[in-house]
Structures are given as structure tokens and as C-alpha cells.
Amino acid sequence: MLDLKLLQRQPEMVAQALLERRSEMRMEDFQALDERRRALLGQAEAIKSARNKISDQIAALKRQGGDAGDLTRQSNTLAEQVAALDAETGEVKAAQQEWMLRVPNLPHASVPRGQDENDNQEVSRWGTPPAFDFTPREHWDLGMALGGLDFDRGSKLTGSRFAVSWGWAARLERALANFFLDMQTNEHGYTEILPPQIVNRKTMQGTGNLPKFAADLFKLENWEYFLIPTAEVPLTNLHADETLEEAALPLAYTAQTACFRSEAGSAGKDTRGLIRQHQFTKVEMVRFALPARSFDELEVMRGHAENLLKRLDLPYRVVTLCTGDMGFSAAKTYDLEVWLPGQNKYREISSCSNCTDFQARRANIRFRPKGGGKPEFLHTLNGSGLPVGRTLVAIMENGQQKDGSFILPKALRPYMDGREQIGPA
């Protein structure tokens, strides 16, 4: 959520930022509501002032033994008018709050201006895509041929965009999750959390998933509960309505959870394989930082995601998302895109974002400065570290061999009882 004072004092700047973010929200709507709110408050104050004067007259008249009936009736009429104005003011404030909840974060000055993914800027590349003396296969062909990925039974059990992992595939997913968590906790300094994977409406609102993205969520029938789309949601809200001490920052949390996404608006995209499933496993990173340090923390988090890919020897590139391609809550985002030989292109495997104080305002998360003074909103950051399914895809495709097997990265072999290769049974 943006600062109300910023919206009121710098409407032109915000309006330009909304255009750059391709948002449908318009500052004119906010200004009309704000003007109406101010007008109603002014009217109410004027009537309250008039009523106070009448109250003084009533008191004076009663002290003299006079009849204050007419003045009392006038006072009651004014009280009714104030009540009506207060009710209307409440409605306008609610509409203004709803508008503010649907406005995206403002892009940082370092974010490239652009319309879509074609305007994203490449930052760096690591690793060399493998060269094959055969036509590389896509992961679903490899996985099904090796008996590990079963999309037909996933569809039978639930529906499209679900899969069943058998044997080596289930074991490899578990190995990846454990490897990610070990790296994050032992080497990167994150505290491991096991949060609920069902959260309430307030929690979803705190990270910006509601109200704007309700269609992307799975809601429990007859409950105001939702399945989480990512562990970012519960991890960020761990400190909702709390004030932390400056000395405690930064804080770093990681969690492995299932993630559930309806993939609204993705009809026809990645209909085969594991790239875009309704349910998948991911290890998430969340950091709480001082405002003056948050963009440094973004670089730290990006480095942590890169370390995972390097350890797995997976070629990747880093891009900075442009204003038209960034997520709703982000002020700046790096995407890490891993090379997939089967598709012959880089595909997103991690997004690392600085949300500045946008989520902290929604969730009411503050810190108390060391030198005293009024508590301030801190900055929140989040990143994938990493999604298990997409990493499995990258390992299979980059390590594939002509006979249909694939080589396991050395870093994973201790988690697979020393196994070096997955091949036909």
C-alpha cells in the first residue's frame, strides 16, 4: 500500500508511475474520493461548531429558567445531519481504502521503463548451455520414458496441471528441497520456518494477493481461508501488527511449502509438463530490512538464489524486470532464468524482489529506531530459493544423455545415496 500523504502531495508523480506500470488505476479517481472526503469532513465540522454554539445557548437559557425547546430541536436536527455526514464519510473512506489496496507499488528509479518482457534488461549470464550431438528432449518426454513423471494419473486424481511423481522423481524432489533448505540455513543464514499453508483473508491482503488477485487463489468453501500461492504470504505476515527493534534487522526466513495457484489468465501456456502446475513445491526466502539497506539486501538475496543454481551447475541468466512486467507488490525485481535445452531458451526459475514498505504498510510491520523516535515501516523482500519442479526440469534437460538417461549434479548425489545418474530401469 502506498503512503496516503504521498498520494495527496505528489499525484502527478504517482500518476506517471501508474502509467509506466500499465495499471488500470487512475489518480483522478483517488483525488475525487479525497476531495469528497475533505468536503464531508468540512461540512460536519461546520455543523458541529454550530451545534456547540446552540448548546451554549441552551445552557444559558436554562440557567435563566427559559424554554429551550426550539433550540433543543435545532440541536437534534443538526446531530442527525452530522450522523448522516459521518456515515457518508465512512463510505467514502472505505472506497478510498479499497482503491489504495488495488494500486501497485511504485517502481524504483533503477528499474528500466518498458511495456512487457521484451523490455527487460539482461544483467549477467553464468555457465555455458550444454552442446548435444542429438536433438535434446523436453522434460516430460524424458520423465515419462524413465517412469518418474505421470501426468495421466495426476489428471485422473484431480485434473489438468497436476502430476504424480514416482520413485526416482519423488526422491529427487525431496532431495532438492533438502538441498535448498540446507544451503539457505547453513550457508546463507536463514531461519527455517514451517508455516501454515492455509491462511486467512487479512494475511493474503498483507502481501498484496487480495483483493486484486482473488481469481488467482484457491479459496476454501464456507471458510474465509485460502491455500497459499507461495510461502512469501505466511512468512511476510509472521510479524504483522508488530514493531521490531532496529538491532534485530535484517531478519531472514526460509520455508519449504506446497504452493497452489489457479493460473488464471494462463490458458494455453505451458499446458504440458511441470512448468506451470496448480500445485508445486518451493523453498522461499523472505527478508525484513531497514529502508536504507533494502536494495543492498536485494543483491544479497539474488546472490543466494544464484548460488543454488551454480552449485547445481545449471546455466542461467539474470534480468531486471521492466516497469510493465513487474509484480504488483515489487519496487524492483530480478528474474533468474535457467537454460532449458528442450525449449532452447531461458525460462524463469526465481524472482527476487524488494517490496520496500508496500507490504509493511498493508501488514502494519514497523521497526523502532535505535536512537528513539517514532516507529517506522520496514522493508520486505522475497525470492524463490528455489522451486523444486522447475529445478527438476532444468536438471533433467541439461543433464540428458543420448540413451534417455540424465546425469545428476554432484551437489545432489549425497542426497541420492551417491547415485550419479537416472537411467532406464
Stretch 387-412: mean pLDDT: 98
Q: Looking at residue 283, what is its pLDDT?
A: 98
Q: Looking at residue 69, what is its pLDDT?
A: 86
Closest alpha carbon to 223 in 254, 206, 198 = 198
Cα–chain center distance at 391: 20
pLDDT confidence of 408, banded at 50, 70, 90? very high
Q: Looking at residue 66, what is its pLDDT?
A: 87
Determine contact, residues 88/94, Cβ cutoff 8 Å.
Answer: no
Stretch 264-279: mean pLDDT: 84
> Over the stretch 2-35, which tens digit does the pLDDT of each residue have?
999 999 999 999 999 999 999 999 999 999 999 9
Stretch 217-240: mean pLDDT: 98
Q: Looking at residue 271, what is its pLDDT?
A: 79
In angstroms, the first-to-last Cα distance of the chain is 54
Stretch 353-380: mean pLDDT: 97
Stretch 197-207: mean pLDDT: 98
Q: Looking at residue 268, what is its pLDDT?
A: 73
Phi, psi of 22 (to 5 degrees): 55, 35
Stretch 241-256: mean pLDDT: 98
Q: Looking at residue 61, what is its pLDDT?
A: 87
Stretch 337-357: mean pLDDT: 98
Stretch 145-171: mean pLDDT: 97
pLDDT confidence of 367, banded at 50, 70, 90? very high
Determine contact, residues 20/46, Cβ cutoff 8 Å.
Answer: no
- Annotated active-site positions, please? 261, 276, 348, 351, 390
Rounded mean pLDDT of the chain?
Answer: 96
Three-point CA angle 124, 358, 284, nearest 5°: 55
Residue 65: pLDDT over 90: no
Q: Please state, in angstroms and rounded to a whole number, the distance separating the CA atoms of residues 176 and 192.
A: 16
* Assigned C-alpha cell, 134: 542429438
**DSSP letters of 193-223?**
----SEEEHHHHHHHT-TTTTGGGSEE-TTS
Q: What is the DSSP letter of 187?
A: I
Stretch 141-155: mean pLDDT: 97
Stretch 45-69: mean pLDDT: 91
pLDDT confidence of 270, banded at 50, 70, 90? confident
> Over the stretch 273-305, which tens digit does the pLDDT of each residue have?
999 999 999 999 999 999 999 999 999 999 999
Q: Looking at residue 248, what is its pLDDT?
A: 97
Stretch 140-159: mean pLDDT: 97
Q: Looking at residue 378, what is its pLDDT?
A: 98
Kindly state the percentage of the chain with pLDDT values over 70: 99
Q: What is the DSSP letter of 414?
A: G
pTM of the model: 0.94
Q: Looking at residue 63, what is its pLDDT?
A: 85
Cα–chain center distance at 86: 35
The count of other CB atoms within 10 Å of the CB of residue 171 is 17
Residue 224: pLDDT over 80: yes
